[in-house]
Amino acid sequence: MMRICFVTHKVKKGDGQGRVNYEVIQEAVGQGHEIIIISSEISEDLKDHPLVEWKEVTVKGWPMELLRNQVFAIGATIWLDRLRSRVDLTIVNGFVTYARSDINCIHFVHSAWLASPYHPYQERRSPRSFYQYIYTSFNRYLERKAMKRSRTIVAVSEQVKMELVQYAGIGKECIAVIRNGVDLQEFYPRPVKRANLKLSEDTVYAMFAGDIRSSRKNLDTVLKALTKVHDVHLLVVGWTEGSIYPQMAADLGIEDRVHFLGYRKDMAELMSAADLFVYPSRYEPFALVILEAMATGLPVIASRNCGAVELLNEEAAVILDDPDDAVALAEAIRSCVYDRHRLKRMGEQAVHIAGGNSWNAMARHYSQLIDETARKKTFAAAKS
């Protein structure tokens, strides 16, 4: 058995990257490994686990994410220096420490995002976009340094692997692809009474979920497309505070068909009540929410810029080449909702694909990589 140290901001179910860490750690403790976690947040069940030791790095009170990340990295580096003699393997997420690591799991490529024409600084020059430019540039530099101090890189999609090679200068032989999973106990096809969710039984509902304060998720194009499809309503899940999109819906004259639901914990029920999932994100290394929608039986309309579409085929989804093409998106929505038989077949195929991508399957892939990396590290140490 090994003593493995995980360094990451969060280890908890309610967070995409945090959920990956949670599942991998659960698999590791299930195999009897001792785990040290350096993080700011941790799931309660892991905090009390006899094989888990938590080292907290507090970042509360710092005003900007850029500063919070630096505080965390410095704190994690100090902890790793103290623990180095006790640890067999170190696993990190991107740039979270100045120390070396054995496995680095990449969920977002700042180098690629900075080069994207959709980066806020490319679209509009303002104090806010300038800060985002500084933030992304600094993280681009730091993530490259962090990856070059790692033995193995994990990319959450083939898209991320390609970006790491093209924009971050990482050799493809160092990169393993392990896609994120989905909780099949939470997300699955189920009958839902729409009335319990204050929804109409006779209305066609498309659904969008994500950070609607960010233009990257591309709700604006969805709203524009909806003006061209007059008998479809849109369910929008995400914090509305600071978002421009409720006003945009009003300006477009579709506020009566766009339902801003705020942050919700009943995502699985809402997805089961919808007819299709629309997510033409401008840049998305994976997009776990797509996999969750598929698992509930929702047909998907997404952009090719989402890493999760690598799992999809034309029987389960409509993939858009241009995320900003509102006309093409409107046509895709019409082609689905006006053919109920096709919609049903797409949903069934989506469930089938999602069924092969559970959290347990993902965690097993990580476990195999951990064992392989540990063997290589032992062999390298013996040679030296």
Q: What is the mean pLDDT of residues 300-310?
A: 93
Percent of the chain with pLDDT over 70: 100
Q: Return d(Cα 324, Cα 189) in angstroms, integer.
A: 30
pLDDT band at 384 (very low <50, low <70, confident <90, very high): low
Tokens (6 digits) for 224? 């524009």
**CB count, 10 Å around CB of 324?**
16
pLDDT at 136: 94
Write down the domain spans for the chain: 3-181+358-383, 194-355
Beta-bridge mates of residue 153: 104, 175
Under a CB-based contact definition with an 8 Å cutoff, are residues 109 and 132 in contact? no
pLDDT at 379: 82
Question: Residue 102: in which H helix or E strand, if any?
Answer: strand 101-106
Q: What is the mean pLDDT of residues 133-155?
A: 94
β-pairing, 10-11 vs 41-42, is parallel
Comparing 15 with 349, the larger pLDDT belongs to: 349
Q: What is the mean pLDDT of residues 291-299?
A: 95
The SS3 call for residue 19 is: helix
Whether 3-181+358-383 and 194-355 share one fold: the answer is yes
Beta strands (DSSP E) in 180-316 are 204-209, 232-237, 258-262, 276-279, 300-303
Beta-bridge mates of residue 55: 38
CA triple 261-263-265, angle to 5 deg: 105
When the pLDDT of each residue in the chain is averaged and rounded to a whole number, the result is: 93
For 79-99, how does the pLDDT look when each residue is reduced to its tens digit (9 = 90+)?
Answer: 999 999 999 999 999 999 999
CATH 3.40.50.2000 for domain 3-181+358-383: yes
For 251-282, how does the pLDDT look when each residue is reduced to its tens digit (9 = 90+)?
Answer: 999 999 999 999 998 999 999 999 999 999 99
pLDDT at 128: 82
CATH 3.10.20.90 for domain 194-355: no
Within the chain, residue ranges assigned H as helices are: 16-30, 44-47, 65-83, 110-115, 120-123, 127-148, 158-167, 219-226, 245-251, 267-273, 288-295, 326-337, 340-355, 359-383
- What DSSP assignment string belongs to 310-338? GG--TTTEEEES-TT-HHHHHHHHHHHHT
Percent of the chain with pLDDT over 90: 84
For 52-76, how does the pLDDT look when each residue is reduced to its tens digit (9 = 90+)?
Answer: 999 999 999 898 899 999 999 999 9
pLDDT at 123: 75
Q: What is the mean pLDDT of residues 275-299?
A: 94
pLDDT at 248: 96
Q: What is the mean pLDDT of residues 326-339?
A: 93
Q: Return d(Cα 62, Cα 95) in angstroms, integer.
A: 18
For 103-138, how does the pLDDT look when each residue is reduced to its tens digit (9 = 90+)?
Answer: 999 999 999 999 998 998 887 788 888 999 999 999
**CB count, 10 Å around CB of 45?**
12
